Structure 1
Amino acid sequence: MNADAKSPRLRRKTRPAAAFAALAQASLARIDALLDQLQRRDDPEDLHQLRIALRHARAVVWAMGPALPRQERDRWKRDLRTLARATSAARDWDVFLAETIGPAREQEPDDTVLAAIADTARQRRNAAREAMLAALATYRDWPLPALHRDLAHLAHLAGRARNDRTRLASFARQRVRRGRKQLRALARSARDGDPVAVHAQRIAGKRLRYVIEALAPVLPARYTRRLHRKLVKRQARLGRQVDGIVARRLLAECLELQAMPDHAAPPLPGAS
């Protein structure tokens, strides 16, 4: 839970809009660096780290949203969601290959059905990566420049808001309480195991975890450390559950493709 060495130094009396500008600037720098890395090499960990950076940025937008002008807040939410969605399919295939197909093939290295499924999964993964890289290259031209422009504007507004008495410490505590209340409601909805509800609970838990990590310098440590540990533990459990749901879907897709004649199989994502 320790802050990264490159994280901005937050103070209890900082105005929320100024804190957002500082946190978002650090997030965009991280996202930019990872986008460069993704273009240079094919390493699943780079994509994993990009998705974490995007979740951090989205958590900060959620946490600081009430302090931001509506137009900027809505643009950040929309554009970061678009970026995250562009990475979803490739990441799903990476996890499926590493955590489902890989271990299965280690146990049954001579199984021809598993070998065929692995080949299909790798083809789908490579196609999904190509489609992702094409989309991300476009996003580098737009909307990312608009997000960078917003930061300068928001920092300027924060500097001019002399009559705004809202301070980061109290604001952050209110947002953590709000996040915890939302998470409890989602946990109740997910008790019956509905995949959509479980996924929503997992996303809300991640968001609250990243909010706590981003705002740790101005939050009461005794309270947030205990809550953070609970969130990490729950996230691991829900992660295994959601990964299992996704693995079953991708396995069914691979088996369906294996059963199709070549002329009837759908084109690979991103194929012309």
Structure 2
Amino acid sequence: MSENHLLPPQEIELKLLLEPEAQTVISHHLAAITLGRSQKKRLITTYYDTPDLQLRQAGLSLRIRRSGSLRIQTLKTDREEGQLAIHRGEWEWSIRHDHPDMDVLSDIPYGALITALATRLKPVWVSHIDRTTHTLPYNGAMVEAAIDEGYVQSGNARDPVRELELELKDGPVRAMYGLALALQAIAPLRLGVLTKAERGYRLHTGAQALPVQGRKPPLTGNMTLAEGFRILIRSGLNALIDNQSAAEAGNPEGVHQMRVAIRQLRAVLQIVERRHVDRSTLRLFQTELQRIGRELGEARDWDVLCLETLPAAFPAHKNDDRVRMLTDAAQLKRAAAYQKIRHELQAPALTALVLSLSLWIEDAFFPEGKGGKEISLSHVAPTVLDHLQRKVMRRGRRISHLSPKKRHTLRKSLKKLRYVASYLEALYPARAVKAYMKHCKELLQQLGKNNDTVVASTLALDLRKTHPDLAPIISAFISWNDRRHRQALRALSPAWKRLRRAPLFWHE
């Protein structure tokens, strides 16, 4: 294998979804600022795989794109982790026929795998796209902006496509984020999470959008604060956006994972809050993340009540008419909360937040240490963890006597400490980290049980206001929930004592 093919050429692109009105406005704007003339093409693209989708399972997509008499065969890898803009390996060849050419694959890392499957490769789905391409300079970069309109099709199933695809041809990636924000200020745009290949495979298999659990990004002790911070923010943004489709589809775990991503992003922002000069910008990001988190939180609360708490409260009476009426009333509230989520996630605000954060971290200023050297992540870590630990210790005093509101505040502070500690644990000995994190998790579980009981009673009382006919069954539920609450309270103090006495791994 030649050295030039060890690493694939990189494709860096950002997808933005368009409504018809926005498409018209964006098209006119791009035509006015493009270099030269815009190019228009009709593209018919066929994707190939085995009947059991072995290429897909290997993280590859193989396609042939026809435009007039031209045939281009392309192989792409799955997008890389930790990047909002889609980074993928990509190889292209001009070929003569409408079926995959195995000969051109001989000198790439995946050639042997694909060639071994050659006799089993069949068309799995196709896209029909009208593309208008604009090439334009923007803030020191050259960006290709393509407006695609058409559909993907597998069998008799179709999925319409209307999107703006920004591809970085040369220059810094921040320019692409800046252009996306500038265009979003002209017309409402929404981040597109799925590539056309992913949309086609989903259409082909009939698979629903699934939640994605965020992966812990790899940090090392020799990283600078700026490097570690950027990695953590990109990871959180990916987890947020990757779960959007599942949340919109009504998947409870998708909502949960979006909330987790928001809490993690807010915790990461606190890492630099006391060291960064641009605190006003940080506060704006924190406020918007908190607002979106509250919207998701309402649906999550109804999820827990409908899917976990009510079944646990009436396990032997699920066919009782009163229980069924209570469950139906709660499900209506849950459906309304999900409708609000869909409206929120399809609005431009989330896209503006994600693009703004992505652009900001590329240019964020970090103060230098002694001698003009960049501050290391390992140097800052103990100070950050000490600050979060002190806040937890202060808010947890006399834990069994705290009001529900103060216990919830303690829980949020402890979650931030745990998130940051889990990110930074790679900088410290594993044994010391494991013992401390065990006690963190234990107390969080007990605080979570307490919070669930408080929220359940609040939601039940809300249902009683709108459904007075359900008062008897709601009273029975509240009595059961009160017993659960008292039991959860008794477990708090022992868990708190164990955490309070746990050695701080960042000082060992």
- Residues 1:143 and 2:353 are matched in the alignment: yes
- Residues 1:248 and 2:495 are matched in the alignment: no
Q: Do the aligned residues in 2 keep the contact of 1:198 with 1:238 (CA within 8 Å)? A: yes
- Report the counterpart of residue 34 of structure 1 in structure 2: 243
Q: 1:191 to 1:170 in 2, by over 3 A?
A: farther
For 2:303 and 2:215, locate their aligned partners in 1 and report how far apart those are by CA, in whole Å: 29
- Residues 1:56 and 2:56 are matched in the alignment: no
For 1:19 and 1:6, locate their aligned partners in 2 and report how far apart those are by CA, in whole Å: 15
Higher percent of residues as strand:
2
Runs of 4+ more than 6 Å apart: 159-162
Normalising by structure 1, report the TM-score: 0.85
Q: Do the aligned residues in 1 keep the contact of 2:219 with 2:228 (CA within 8 Å)? A: yes
- Report the counterpart of residue 45 of structure 1 in structure 2: 253
For 2:312 and 2:244, locate their aligned partners in 1 and report how far apart those are by CA, in whole Å: 29
SS where residue 107 of structure 1 aligns?
Answer: coil
The one-letter amino acid of 1:196's match is: K
Superposed counterparts of 1:1-272, under 5 Å: 7-39=216-248, 41-68=249-276, 69-138=278-347, 139-154=349-364, 157=365, 163-188=372-397, 190-259=399-468
For 1:244 and 1:6, locate their aligned partners in 2 and report how far apart those are by CA, in whole Å: 30
For 2:401 and 2:368, locate their aligned partners in 1 and report how far apart those are by CA, in whole Å: 50
Offset, 1:6? 5.1
For 2:440 and 2:286, locate their aligned partners in 1 and report how far apart those are by CA, in whole Å: 23
Offset, 1:220? 4.2
For 1:245 and 1:125, locate their aligned partners in 2 and report how far apart those are by CA, in whole Å: 18
Q: Do the aligned residues in 1 keep the contact of 2:285 with 2:353 (CA within 8 Å)? A: no
SS where residue 188 of structure 1 aligns?
Answer: coil
Offset, 1:158? 5.1
Higher percent of residues as helix:
1
The one-letter amino acid of 2:411's match is: R
Q: After superposing the two structures, state which structure 1 stretch, 135-144 or 122-131, moved more.
A: 135-144
SS where residue 401 of structure 2 aligns?
Answer: coil
Q: Do the aligned residues in 1 keep the contact of 2:311 with 2:318 (CA within 8 Å)? A: no
RMSD of aligned residue pairs (Cα, Å):
2.4
Q: 1:104 to 1:181 in 2, by over 3 A?
A: same
Q: 1:9 to 1:67 in 2, by over 3 A?
A: farther
For 1:5 and 1:113, locate their aligned partners in 2 and report how far apart those are by CA, in whole Å: 40
Identity, % of aligned positions: 22
Q: 1:227 to 1:89 in 2, by over 3 A?
A: same
- Compare CA radii of gyration and give the structure with the larger one: 2
Query: Which segments of 5 or more consecutive residues in structure 2 lack a partner in the other structure?
Result: 1-212, 470-508
Q: Do the aligned residues in 2 keep the contact of 1:195 with 1:245 (CA within 8 Å)? A: yes
For 2:281 and 2:434, locate their aligned partners in 1 and report how far apart those are by CA, in whole Å: 31
For 2:377 and 2:351, locate their aligned partners in 1 and report how far apart those are by CA, in whole Å: 33
What do the CA deviations read for 1:23-72 (whole angstroms, capped 9, x no partner)?
A: 10111011111113323x22111111111111111111112322333133
For 2:385 and 2:259, locate their aligned partners in 1 and report how far apart those are by CA, in whole Å: 22
SS where residue 219 of structure 2 aligns?
Answer: coil
Offset, 1:191? 3.3
Offset, 1:5? 9.2
Normalising by structure 2, report the TM-score: 0.47
Q: Do the aligned residues in 2 keep the contact of 1:87 with 1:132 (CA within 8 Å)? A: yes
